[in-house]
């Protein structure tokens, strides 16, 4: 991964954290906010593979963990999004992307990432974390993230495709 691509991914993650924590949080009537950073990590994983996806997930998760309204243990989102980025990177990048495959990948990633975060909150004894609330929160997060992913994943895919250096052909 070259320096321009790293800078673009970090800039996208910072903008995603700001959008998620300060723009979308007040607009959504529920406690569950559309997970912009998770969708960005999925898009990076789809474009760059497992290493780039895990790296973006860890970076985005740490940024999200350190964002001011955070009320959880530092590292929970980093763990969740690292797994999400790695898993998104395992999806076949050789096939032609479609809105259906992108939506299914975002849905699976949202389910896994939100579940890891919720179950780690239960394991750590976070206040307000109850087993009865896990399934409704995860289901709502999946719906929000799939809708967000329909717009965000193709855009990030196009941006990263423009920054990626052209392959060198050698004889």
Residue stretches of the chain with pLDDT short of 70: 29-30, 93-95, 127-132, 134, 165-171
Sketch out the chain's domains with CATH numbers: 3-163 (1.10.1760.20)
Q: How many CB atoms lie within 10 A of CB 78?
A: 19
Of the candidates 64, 75, 59, the residue with the CA atom closest to the CA atom of residue 36:
64
Tokens encoding 90: 């395992």
Taking only the tens place, the pLDDT of each residue in 122-131 is 788 776 666 6
Answer for the pair 24, 34: CB distance below 8 angstroms, yes or no. yes
Of the candidates 51, 8, 17, the residue with the CA atom closest to the CA atom of residue 37:
17
User: The pTM is what?
Assistant: 0.88
Q: 18, exposed or middle or buried, with CB in 10 Å at 0-12, 13-18, 19+? A: middle
Q: 69, exposed or middle or buried, with CB in 10 Å at 0-12, 13-18, 19+? A: exposed
């Amino acid at each position: 991964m070259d320096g321009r691509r790293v800078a673009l991914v970090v800039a996208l993650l910072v903008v995603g954290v700001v959008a998620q924590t300060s723009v979308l949080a007040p607009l959504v009537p529920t406690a569950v906010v559309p997970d912009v950073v998770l969708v960005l990590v999925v898009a990076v994983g789809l474009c760059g593979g497992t290493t780039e996806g895990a790296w973006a997930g860890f970076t985005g998760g740490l940024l999200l963990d350190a964002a001011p309204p955070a009320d959880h243990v530092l590292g929970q989102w980093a763990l969740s999004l690292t797994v999400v980025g790695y898993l998104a990177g395992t999806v076949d990048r050789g096939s032609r992307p479609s809105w259906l495959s992108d939506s299914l990948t975002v849905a699976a990633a949202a389910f896994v990432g939100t579940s890891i975060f919720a179950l780690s909150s239960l394991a750590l004894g976070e206040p307000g974390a109850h087993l009865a609330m896990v399934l409704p929160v995860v289901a709502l997060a999946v719906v929000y993230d799939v809708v967000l992913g329909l717009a965000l994943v193709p855009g990030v895919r196009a941006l990263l495709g423009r920054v990626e250096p052209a392959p060198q052909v050698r004889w």
